[in-house]
């Protein structure tokens, strides 16, 4: 493979610069569709390196596409940089927010975006002095946590000409993300009734809150008659103003998830039928607002094997005694039994996987293994229905620490996270370089995708006219 040593040397020489960029984004956490600081920073670095940057794209101010090179093949790297609400935290192993109630990078997307940036820069620097042709493209993808940034980009065809898409995610294990994930619909049910004095003239009122409650009761009965791997979650966002006023307006917010999009659409319609019945019972009117939707994930094994092989050759992150001591401090903050539960989920012993930090590169790990379905969702799924897509995970947090916690915010802002990030950048760079010179691999990957989709073209789950929504955690 051409340029392996050049790409690794570039990343080694620019390590401190890349770590500084990731730390800078960590210090300026922003919610989905508001990532102005992070997206501007990454786009500027790419532009200064000679990439052709189009920003914004698809009407989203924080979405962009940066491209270098020409001709085929076209290999894409997916970058993310959004944070989560309420998870601000200092780089400490005790809960202490930087800003009380503020956002924080509790999913490590500051690492995710910068590792992809580093890989794109390393590939470009390598190809400049070689005869290899092709196009490298970095996608600045906002609002992954809302499960919709890439879905907007997919709906507008931004991934249509890709030969492959590569990405990664900060986690605990150094391995291939070979599992699928669920398709999801996020939607709000708004009921409109008629207010009245709840004691003086209750018969004059039509309670929107009753409709919300009846919907929830009906959905709970529906759970008995749905597949065991379907998930439905709900919160009440508006329930009324005071007990003595019949609520004229009430709203609930649902997520429905299922392993496959077609299965999800059937369950979604059944939930809506429950809501329609509740509206009929309460003589209220129902308004349905689809907030977000995405496809299930189709991990491409052909591309995944390329990425995993490079990770095996590179080995795990070079954690030292200081990193391990810090990781043990985080583990001391976890609930009893959390470490054991995590090991059971991974299907590995402490000796096999490493404790407190992952010391191996593993072929498969429990919930990430091929043939399993993660109950969570990601908008990477929509990209995977368009072009062969694969991703790895690297160790960026201690064993037992789950994402979307203050512990993750702290760990991914430390050297533990940065070392995992640099491994991911190396894997991405070497994988892109190999794919640029491996037409047979790309052809096999496309054939695999065609089999997985039964040759059906991608269909966006978003209705025409759906507008951007506010950031929410997945």
Q: Write down the H helix ranges in 318-414.
A: 321-331, 338-346, 350-353, 380-384, 406-412
* Displacement of CA 163 from its chain's centroid (Å): 21
Task: Supply the mean pLDDT for the chain.
Answer: 96
Region 166-180: mean pLDDT is 97
- Sort strands 134-141 and 64-70 into parallel, antiparallel or unpaired: antiparallel
Q: Which residues of 65-89 are buried (b: 16+ CB within 10 A; e: fewer)?
A: bbbbbeeebbbbbbbbbbbbbebbb
Q: What's the pLDDT band for 473 if we cut at 50, 70, 90?
A: very low
CA distance 139 to 133: 20
Residue matched to tokens 């019972």 = 281
pLDDT at 176: 98
Chain segment 425-455, per-residue pLDDT in tens: 999 999 999 999 999 999 999 999 999 999 9
List, for residues 454-470, the tens digit of each pLDDT value.
999 999 999 887 766 54
pLDDT reported for residue 118:
98
Residue 1 reports pLDDT greater than 50: no
**Would you say residue 185 has pLDDT above 60?**
yes
Q: What sign results for the dihedral spanned by CA atoms 362, 366, 368, 369?
A: positive
The two structure tokens encoding residue 17: 């610069």
- Residue that has been written with the tokens 């499960």 in this structure: 147
Q: How confident is the model at residue 3 (pLDDT cuts 50, 70, 90)?
A: confident
The pLDDT value given to residue 457: 96
Please determine, for residue 385, whether its predicted confidence score (pLDDT) is greater than 90. yes
DSSP letter for 194, please: B
Which has the closest alpha carbon to 441: 166, 217, 215, 142? 166
Determine the pLDDT at residue 354.
93
Contacts of 146 (CB under 8 A, 6+ apart): 32, 33, 82, 186, 291, 292, 469, 470, 471, 472, 474
pLDDT in tens, 329-384: 999 999 999 999 999 999 999 999 999 999 999 998 998 999 999 999 999 999 99
Q: Which domains does the chain have, with CATH numbers?
A: 4-181+296-452 (3.40.630.10), 184-292 (3.30.70.360)
Taking the C-alpha atoms of residue 182 and residue 239, their distance in angstroms, rounded to an integer, is: 29
The answer for residues whose C-beta is within 8 angstroms of residue 57's C-beta and 6 or more apart is 63, 64, 65, 153, 156, 158
Q: Are 280 and 225 in contact (CB under 8 A)?
A: no
Cα separations in angstroms, 277 against 67, 203, 271, 274, 288? 51, 20, 10, 5, 14
Give the pTM. 0.95
pLDDT the model gives residue 38 = 98
Return the pLDDT at 466: 76
For the segment 233-260, the average pLDDT, to the nearest whole number, is 97
Q: Cα separation of 44 and 41, whole Å?
A: 5
DSSP-based three-state secondary structure for 206? strand
pLDDT number for residue 11: 98
Q: Does the structure show a pLDDT above 90 at 237?
A: yes
- pLDDT tens-place string over residues 21-68: 999 999 999 999 999 999 999 999 999 999 999 999 999 999 999 999
- Given a contact cutoff of 8 angstroms between Cβ atoms, the answer to whether 194 and 205 are in contact is yes
pLDDT for res 469: 56
Residue 325: how many CB atoms within 10 A of its CB? Answer: 11
CA atoms of 441 and 405, how far apart (whole Å)? 38
For the segment 16-20, the average pLDDT, to the nearest whole number, is: 98
| 2 pLDDT more than 70 | no
| 306 pLDDT more than 80 | yes
Q: How much is the pLDDT for 131? A: 85
């Amino acid at each position: 493979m051409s340029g392996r040593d050049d790409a690794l040397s570039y990343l080694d020489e620019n390590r401190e610069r890349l770590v500084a960029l990731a730390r800078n984004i960590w210090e300026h956490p922003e919610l989905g569709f508001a990532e102005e600081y992070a997206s501007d920073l990454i786009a500027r670095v790419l532009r200064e390196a000679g990439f052709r940057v189009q920003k914004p794209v698809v009407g989203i101010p924080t979405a962009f596409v940066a491209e270098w090179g020409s001709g085929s093949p076209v290999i894409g790297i997916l970058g993310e940089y959004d944070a989560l609400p309420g998870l601000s935290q200092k780089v400490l192993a005790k809960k202490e927010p930087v800003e009380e109630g503020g956002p924080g990078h509790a999913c490590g997307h500051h690492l995710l975006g910068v590792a992809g940036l580093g890989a794109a820069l390393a590939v470009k620097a390598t190809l400049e002095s070689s005869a290899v042709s092709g196009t490298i493209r970095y996608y600045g993808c906002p609002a992954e946590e809302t499960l919709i940034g890439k879905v907007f980009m997919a709906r507008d065809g931004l991934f249509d000409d890709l030969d492959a898409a590569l990405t990664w995610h900060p986690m605990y294990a150094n391995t291939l993300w070979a599992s699928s994930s669920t398709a999801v619909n996020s939607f709000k049910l708004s009921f409109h009734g008629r207010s009245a004095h709840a004691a003086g003239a209750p018969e004059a009122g039509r309670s929107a809150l009753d409709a919300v409650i009846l919907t929830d009761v009906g959905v709970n009965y529906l759970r008995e008659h749905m597949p065991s791997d379907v998930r439905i979650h709900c919160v009440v966002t508006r329930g009324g103003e005071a007990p003595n006023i019949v609520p004229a307006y009430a709203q609930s917010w649902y997520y429905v998830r299922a392993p496959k999009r077609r299965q999800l659409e059937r369950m979604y319609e059944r939930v809506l039928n429950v809501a329609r019945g509740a509206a009929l019972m309460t003589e209220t009117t129902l308004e349905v607002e689809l907030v977000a939707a995405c496809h299930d994930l189709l991990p491409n094994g052909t591309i995944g094997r390329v990425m995993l092989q490079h990770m095996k050759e590179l080995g795990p992150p070079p954690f030292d005694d200081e990193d391990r001591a810090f990781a043990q401090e985080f583990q001391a903050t976890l609930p009893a039994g959390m470490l054991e539960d995590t090991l059971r989920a991974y299907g590995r012993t402490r000796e096999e996987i490493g404790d407190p930090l992952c010391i191996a590169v593993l072929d498969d790990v429990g919930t990430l293994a091929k043939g399993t379905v993660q109950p969570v969702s990601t908008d990477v799924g929509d990209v995977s229905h368009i072009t062969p897509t694969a991703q790895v995970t690297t160790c960026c947090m201690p064993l037992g620490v789950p994402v979307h916690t203050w512990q993750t915010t702290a760990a991914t802002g430390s050297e533990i996270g940065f070392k995992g990030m640099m491994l991911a950048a190396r894997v991405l760079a070497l994988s892109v370089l190999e794919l640029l010179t491996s037409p047979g691999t790309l052809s096999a990957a496309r054939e695999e995708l065609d089999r997985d989709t039964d040759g059906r073209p991608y269909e966006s789950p978003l209705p025409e006219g759906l507008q951007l929504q506010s950031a929410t955690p997945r």
